[in-house]
A and B are shown apart, each in its own frame.
Chain A
Amino acid sequence: MKCLLVANESAEVLFYWTDTEFEQQVQKQYGVSQEEGEGLPAFEDSINTLFAPIIISCSTMVDRLMDNYTSFSTENNHIYVLHQFEECLYIAVNGDGDETKEDLKRKIYVMKKLIEIMFGMVTFSGALLRKELRPRDTEQRNRLWKKLRSLLETYSRLRENDQSFLVEAVERLIHPTLCEQCIEFLERRLVQQINSNMDRAGEEVLHAFILVQTKMLAFYSSRSASSLSNSDLLALIILVQDLYPSKIDPVCFSIPDVFYTPEPSPPERESGDLQTLEVPTSDPSAPSRVFLEAKECPMMPHSMYCLSLCPGITLVLLTKIPNSHVAVSAYCFLETFVKLEKRLCEGHEGAAAMRGQPSIQEQRSKLEKFIKAWTSQLQNVWTDFKNKAFSRSGSGFTRDLLPSCRNMKTQLCGVYRQFFATECMGSSQRLAPHLQERALNMVQEKLIHWKDFLLVKSKRNITMVSYPFFFFLTLFPGLIHFIYVDRSDGRMIAPSLNVTDHTVSELGKGPLADFIKSKVWSLVATAQQYLQKGYTTVTLRDGDYFYCYFLWFENETGYKLEVIDIPSSPDDGAPVGMLTCDYYRKLLRYYSKKHQNEVLKCYELFTVHLGVIPSEYILQHCSQLARKLWEPSRIPLL
């Protein structure tokens, strides 16, 4: 029984997702039957009615007590988690025991991240975001909500089944030669060819990568590009997985002489390989708009092209779009007004309010130019602001300026939306279809002989018995599973744990494999809980198993740096991870205060051992394992 909803302060539901159980429960409780006219709006109404008192109470608590609810739990173990982001309140509910409070909190943060990826700076304005998330046109709204729900479900599926989404780090395919070849191919041939072609409509490929299921085969970023953050990369993988879901059904490995034939795609996916996010049937070559973090602007618009090479293997191109500097300017102005608003709210006036980098005075002429060149939409609000702020008859920089200041903010977000929102994008703005097709063909050709291998490899990337890891069994008797994460570049290594797969992993299948999987999942959750409270080493003896968790820092040469006390985050802080708030980046930044001239690396190791092994041996294993794993993690991939 699960539910997630987003509401604004006036208790209007901007988005909701429920599973069928929750829907049935609500309908049973409120007697909303399908027969009473249209089922859907009625259900939406009852969701609204059900949650309204909670939402209203939240606003009251914020207004009058400067506090807010973060969670409820009931005697039958239903959990409600609430989080307010600016003007939006997110509520996640679980009534089936599948998710913990932390899981729900994470889900909320992920939902917010996905909304940011899709709408960028528009999320800064409550009013505009409301329009985006809840379009008046029912059909449009249903389409958008369906999309968001599907993304959420994709995320939940990945989180439940994929180790890289468990620890929120990208897993790469371990095949150094092929990886290197592919990176070279992307750089020298693919990206170069596209970027020098006339039909690219002013776009420029910044990043290109090839995914096999959720695993990274090759990743290339052009030199002019800002690096793609780990958090964005994980979010993009969710988008890709949503378009081209990993097959749960196995590839047939057992007959060596027969080539793998892709199973027919699900019917709705049959429209072609070149599906895109928004309007797949009408316009297959249209890219989807994503807003990614870049040096100049934390929500830089990009176009994303997902080209399916074959089921399970996807080429992703991220391009810079023309006019993207408008986003940089708009963000810069917006930041100025946000700071101004903050200072005015704090009671600063006059010159004190205008201080700050960059000051409003410095921005003034730039803003005028910007308005002249790009948008007349801002003109009226800007004139109003100027009259109040700078003219003698106006109020000057006092609290009275606040409304104008807020108007400017909203209008800037509006300009940003006008330029970059998907629906406002010119339909011709894209890499020419033939160019896309060409790119696809090139990569297909390149990987034609590897395809089957890659699909198998993605399922059994590392196994406890395969080379070069066969020594695990001999070197580390009693070791059942491990996950090794390099947090500085957001990559992870772990033996495959495909319990949904029909193929038999070395863990076997059935209840034991499921049991180990559930133990691994709970180990990671537990370790993160302790890490959040500042503990970097945890060992647990639980039933017949022994679990270890370590987090440590090294410099570039592999010298292990001294452990420091990590501040413990408050209970309502962001969850530990990389997808949502990039906890580890903050951690590295915190640590680097002590080691300013060094390149820092941060590693994590999770292990599961049989409990009968004496703990001295277990610790020895962990130490040796960390040393062994350090080497493959240095395979050049970027």
Chain B
Amino acid sequence: MANCTAYVFHHISECSCFFLYDSSKVQEEGDLTRDGIYYFSPEDTPTDQQELLCGQLAGVCRCVSELSSSPVRLLCLRKSKYAVCMKDNFLWALSCAGDIPDVSVCDLLDQLIALFCFYSGPVRKSYQLYSKEELALRWARYLCYLQGGYTELHNIFSCLRTIDSTHIDPLLLLKAAVILQACQRCPLVLAGCILYRGRVVSTQMPPALTVKVMVYETQTYSQDFQVTVNGLSSSVGSPSSSTATTQVFLMPTELHMLRCPPVDRACRSHCNQPPCQPSKSHLLSHTLSDTPTTDTDSSSLDPTHYPPTSYQTVPSSPRSSLSDELCFSPSPSRVNTPIHSNLMNQSEYFTPDSHDHNTSNGTNLCAVEESLAGLNIKQDVDASSGSETKSEGLNSDQDIQSEEIKALANGYEQSNGLDNHSDLDNHIKSEENKLDANNHVTNKNAKFQGQTEEEEKTKSKQVNRKLKEKYEPTNTPSPHETLADTSLVPSVLYQHRVKGLVLALLVEPEFNTDPSAREEVHHSSLASLNGLEAHLRNTSPGTLGPPGPYTFAHYDCIQNTLTTNVCGRSVGPQDQALVKATKLVHSHFSHLDTLQEAIVRNASSAVYGTCSMAQETYFLQQGTPVRNSGSPDPQDSAFSLPRKARLRLLKHGLNLL
């Protein structure tokens, strides 16, 4: 028996494992551990084993955190390691398949929790509003999304998936950026990004926020895809366009950043310039909005982008947009880019698998995702596009599903129907109202809820104070800030899809009740989105360049993107050598700020790694090294790697100088 259990667990520890455990549910002697388990993945793990693992880890973490007066962050077992997050009686633990660095697994867990909070709001409240089963679907989706990196490298850096810009006309990127800027000038719009088949084309948001937004896109994309596959939607080729909104929750720092971006803040476009790093600026492309240019140029690019109406609305737009205007002064006269310089300095994006181009990453995700696709989404006919609504074409299963989704998303979902809510105040207090509206569901928890709310209030006060002290100067929020329940600010994510292309905008909550705002955004972007989509669709999928005699990985720390010629899951021995060294050197870099360069060599491979504020690069020269003894030898080919790397990577547009 014991052997059998051990075998099953061996299996678990090999693959990734994630759970959320609420220790407040298990306090008395008679309390069952299973009551505390909110979510456990892999879900087919027998309950007694879930209980065993959760019970032991939660117990030992609690003991350690009491001893050290601080929550446990990382827990290592002989066969696996868990990133741990402990907050308000909750314990999250995530282990990853493969031997990924400590920093990376901790990052992944933070992202996972942040994603959940972004879409569902405070965790405790979510579990009061929704059933465990419903939320389990979400955890599963986010988990899938985060672990679905194309290569191990993507998991190590947990980077954004971006479009392969080397095969795309830079004008298109520019166009995307211009669309975003046009939208940003509409009232109530905070910032946005444009995605194509699950990859970023252009974004105005910081990477951490872009990732969050992308999950929603992937989810709607996979839904669309499913529909298409069933052959029930209108034909694939016909122009179809739909908009949707969903409620999301922003951290105060995120919101603050979106509303009052510092002038030089590098979160405004696809090609960013890092703030306060003039010396490094050559490493990065220029920010479109930073580049002064002439009127004529901009209008020649896409005249539809600057309808005069948007300017007229400027004065009436809320403070946030106003301040945006002030900070970025996005008058047409300043929107343009010297295309040449943009080309030259173009940041690279990793080359995706060729097959991914056909299916997009949406379909890479686990099967469960398809069934989830509709959760928390409402799709509407886009009146102005005049296309058929998709839901009309759905089969009965999907109708039921969408019914469920509507019910489920009740309160969180804002209908596209603009007459539903006329009272703005309603929306300002939307959070409380929604809670009330859902109270019938959670009546039995009413008392409990009351207590927690009080606790939460005091805690959030403390947290806020700490946050003020700690995070005021920076814009990077702590992962655990997410969990300071009441500090999350409801906001709305607007999404406009044109086939594979998605415009996603973070907007103020009032956006939903402001038909004119909505219309304006729609009008200002629709035509150009259609055009952009057509262009991107016709762009030939990038083929991998000749597989040079070297392997490299280049991580852009500012934009959170990875460029590499290591492709796919099946990696050759040389690729593995690069990945292995990258893991080690990356964790070394992340622990030691002053470390700039490293060369590590074993008998069969030598890897060069270099790191600056803005980027991390790893380079491996392929081919068997000439016979050497490993003793100090200036002729050793390993030591010429820095030179080779600089030379070779120039071809990929990467400048290591």
A residues with a Cβ closer than 8 A to B are 29, 50, 53-54, 57, 60-61, 63-76, 78, 80, 93, 95, 526, 529-530, 533-543, 548, 550-554, 560-566, 570-572, 603, 605, 615-616, 619-620, 622-623, 625-626
Question: Size of chain B's interface in residues, with CB distance under 8 A?
Answer: 60
**Once the chains bind, are B63 and A54 in contact (CB under 8 Å)?**
yes
Chain B residue with the shortest CB-CB distance to A541:
B597
Contact B600 A535 (CB under 8 A): yes
> Closest Cβ of chain A: how far from B318's Cβ, in Å?
37
Q: How far is the CA of A526 from the CA of B169 in the complex (A)?
A: 45
Is B6's CB under 8 angstroms from A626's CB? no
Q: Is the CB of B13 within 8 A of A67?
A: yes
Bound-complex Cα distance A74 to B599 (A): 31
B residues less than 8 Å from A29 (CB atoms): 66-67, 69
Q: Are A550 and B70 within 8 A (Cβ)?
A: no
Output the least CB separation between B269 and chain A (Å).
33
* B634 in complex: contacting residue of A60, A95, A623, CB < 8 Å: A623
Assuming A54-B64, A74-B68, A537-B599, is B2 touching A63 (CB within 8 A)? yes
Contact residues of B between 550 and 581, Cβ < 8 Å to A: 580-581
Closest to A101 in B: B76
Within 8 A of A (CB), among B43-100: 52-53, 56, 59-61, 63-80, 99
**Quick one: which of A63, A541, A571 has the most chain B CB within 10 A?**
A541
Known: A50-B67, A61-B56, A61-B77. A537 touches B72 (CB 8 A): no
When A60-B56, A74-B71, A530-B600 are in contact, do A543 and B594 touch as well, CB less than 8 Å?
yes
A66 with B603: CB separation less than 8 A: no
Contact B596 A562 (CB under 8 A): no
Residues of B within 8 A of A68 (CB): 77-78
Closest CB-CB distance, B216 to chain A, in whole Å? 30
Which A residues are CB-close (under 8 A) to B10? 66
B binding-site residues for A, Cβ under 8 Å: 2, 5-6, 9-10, 13, 52-53, 56, 59-61, 63-80, 99, 580-581, 584, 588, 592, 594-604, 606, 627-634, 636, 638-639, 642
- From B56, B78, B595, residue with most partner A Cβ within 10 Å: B78
Q: Is A530 in contact with B594, judged by CB distance below 8 angstroms?
A: no
- Nearest chain A CB to B394's CB is how many angstroms away? 45
Some 22 contacts from A to B, beta carbons below 8 A apart, are A65-B53, A68-B77, A71-B74, A72-B72, A74-B64, A78-B70, A533-B580, A535-B600, A536-B602, A538-B601, A539-B599, A539-B639, A541-B595, A550-B632, A553-B629, A563-B628, A563-B629, A571-B99, A603-B631, A616-B639, A622-B632, A626-B631
Q: Which of A50, A67, A73, A535 touches B74 (beta carbons < 8 Å)?
A: A73
Tell whether, in the assembled complex, residue B76 and residue A550 are in contact, meaning their CB atoms are under 8 Å apart: no
Q: How far is the CA of A603 from the CA of B631 in the complex (A)?
A: 9
**Chain A residues whose CB sits within 8 angstroms of the CB of B642 once the complex forms:** 615
Q: With a CB–CB cut-off of 8 A, which chain A residues contact B72?
A: 72-75
Contact between B599 and A620, CB atoms less than 8 A apart: no
CA–CA, A529 and B587, complex, Å: 12
For B639, the closest partner residue in chain A by CB is A619
Of A61, A67, A535, A620, the contact of B602 (CB 8 Å cutoff): A535
Quote the shortest CB–CB distance from B237 to chain A (angstroms): 52
CA distance A603 to B59 in the complex (A): 46
> Is the beta-carbon distance between A65 and B52 smaller than 8 angstroms?
yes
Bound-complex Cα distance A291 to B244 (A): 76
Structural contact, A536 and B628, CB atoms closer than 8 A: no
B79 touches A530 (CB 8 A): no
State how many angstroms separate the Cβ of B625 from the closest Cβ of chain A: 9
> Are B634's CB and A616's CB within 8 A?
yes
20 further A-B contacts with Cβ under 8 Å, apart from A72-B75, A619-B632, are A53-B59, A54-B60, A57-B60, A65-B5, A70-B76, A72-B72, A73-B72, A529-B584, A535-B584, A537-B602, A538-B599, A541-B596, A542-B594, A543-B594, A552-B629, A552-B631, A560-B629, A562-B628, A566-B602, A605-B632
Q: Once the chains bind, are B632 and A72 in contact (CB under 8 Å)?
A: no
Q: Which of B65, B602, B632 has the most CB of A within 10 A?
A: B632
Task: Tell me, rounded to whole Å, the shortest Cβ–Cβ distance linking B67 to chain A.
Answer: 6
Are B2 and A64 interface neighbours, CB within 8 A? Answer: yes
Q: Which 6 A-B pairs have the closest CB atoms?
A: A622-B632, A560-B629, A563-B630, A76-B70, A541-B597, A552-B631
Pick the residue among B6, B76, B602 that contacts A71 (CB under 8 A).
B76
- Which of A69, A74, A554, A623 is close to B633, meaning CB atoms less than 8 Å apart? A623
How near does chain A come to B603, taking the closest CB pair, in angstroms?
4
A625: chain B residues within 8 A (beta carbon) = 632
Q: How far is the CA of A541 from the CA of B594 in the complex (A)?
A: 8
B600 near A537: Cβ-Cβ < 8 Å: yes
Which single member of A64, A67, A562 contacts B627 (CB below 8 Å)? Answer: A562
CB distance from A46 to the nearest CB of B (A): 11
Which B residues touch A71, using CB under 8 A? 74-76
Which of A72, A542, A563 is close to B64, meaning CB atoms less than 8 Å apart? Answer: A72
Closest residue of chain A to B56 (Cβ to Cβ) is A57
| Shortest distance from the beta carbon of A600 to any chain B beta carbon, whole Å | 13
Cβ–Cβ contact A64 & B5, under 8 A: yes
Q: Identify the closest chain B residue to A545 (Cβ).
A: B594
The answer to whether B64 and A537 have CB atoms under 8 Å apart is: no
**What residues on B are CB-neighbors of A566 within 8 Å?**
602-603
A535 and B601 contact, Cβ closer than 8 Å, known pairs A63-B2, A74-B71, A615-B639: yes
A67 to B592 Cα, complex, angstroms: 31
Contact A565 B603 (CB under 8 A): yes
B74, B604, B638: which contacts A565 (Cβ < 8 A)? Answer: B604
Report the minimal beta-carbon distance from A60 to chain B, rounded to whole angstroms.
6
Given known A-B contacts A74-B71, A623-B631, A539 and B598 have beta carbons under 8 A apart: yes
Q: Which residues of A contact B52 (CB under 8 A)?
A: 60, 64-65
Contact residues in B for A530 (Cβ distance below 8 Å): 584, 600
In whole Å, how far is A603's beta carbon from the nearest beta carbon of chain B? 7
- Chain B residues, Cβ within 8 Å of A534: 602
Closest chain-B Cβ to A595's Cβ sits at a distance in Å of: 13
- A163 CB to nearest chain B CB (Å): 20
**With the chains together, A561 CA to B300 CA distance in Å?**
68
When chains A and B are docked, how far (Å) is the Cα of A80 from the Cα of B581? 26
Distance, CA A331 to CA B9, complexed state (A): 37
Which residues of chain B have C-beta atoms less than 8 A from A66's C-beta?
A: 6, 9-10
Minimum CB–CB distance for B521 against chain A, Å: 41
Nearest B-chain residue to A1, judged by Cβ = B68
Q: How far is the CB of B579 from chain A (nearest CB, A)?
A: 12
CA distance A552 to B580 in the complex (A): 22
B588→A69 contact, CB < 8 A: no
CB neighbours of B79 from chain A (8 A):
67
Closest A residue to B629 by CB, please name it: A560
Residues of A contacting B6 in the complex (Cβ-Cβ under 8 angstroms): 64-66
B596 & A619 in contact (Cβ 8 Å cutoff): no
Cβ distance A97 to chain B, nearest Cβ, rounded Å: 12
Contact of B74 with A72 in the complex, beta carbons under 8 Å: yes
Report how far A390 CA is from B189 CA in the complex, Å.
89
Q: How far is the CB of B656 from chain A (nearest CB, A)?
A: 13
Closest-by-CB residue of B relative to A621 is B632
Please pick, from B60, B597, B630, the residue contacting A540 in the complex, using a CB distance under 8 A. Answer: B597
A537→B60 contact, CB < 8 A: no
Q: How far is the CA of A67 from the CA of B638 in the complex (A)?
A: 39
Contacts of B598 in A (CB 8 A): 538-541
Expressed in whole angstroms, the minimum distance between the Cβ of B597 and any Cβ of chain A is: 4
Which residues from chain B contact A603 at a C-beta distance below 8 Å? 631
Query: Are A69 and B76 in contact, CB atoms less than 8 angstroms apart?
Result: yes
Quote the shortest CB–CB distance from B470 to chain A (angstroms). 12
- Contact A78/B68 with A54-B60, A70-B78, A615-B639 known, Cβ cut-off 8 Å: yes
Q: How many angstroms from the CA of A76 to the CA of B638 in the assembled complex? A: 39
Q: Which of B2, B73, B633, B639 contacts A75 (CB 8 A)?
A: B73
**A76-B595 CB under 8 A given contacts A57-B59, A562-B628, A572-B78:** no
How far, in angstroms, from A623 to B65 measured CA to CA in the complex? 49
By a CB distance below 8 angstroms, the chain B residues around A75 are 70-73
B84 to A, closest residue via Cβ: A72
Q: Which residue of A lies closest to B607 (CB)?
A: A535
Measured CA separation A29–B602 after assembly (Å) = 49
Nearest Cβ distance between residue B630 and chain A, in whole angstroms?
A: 4
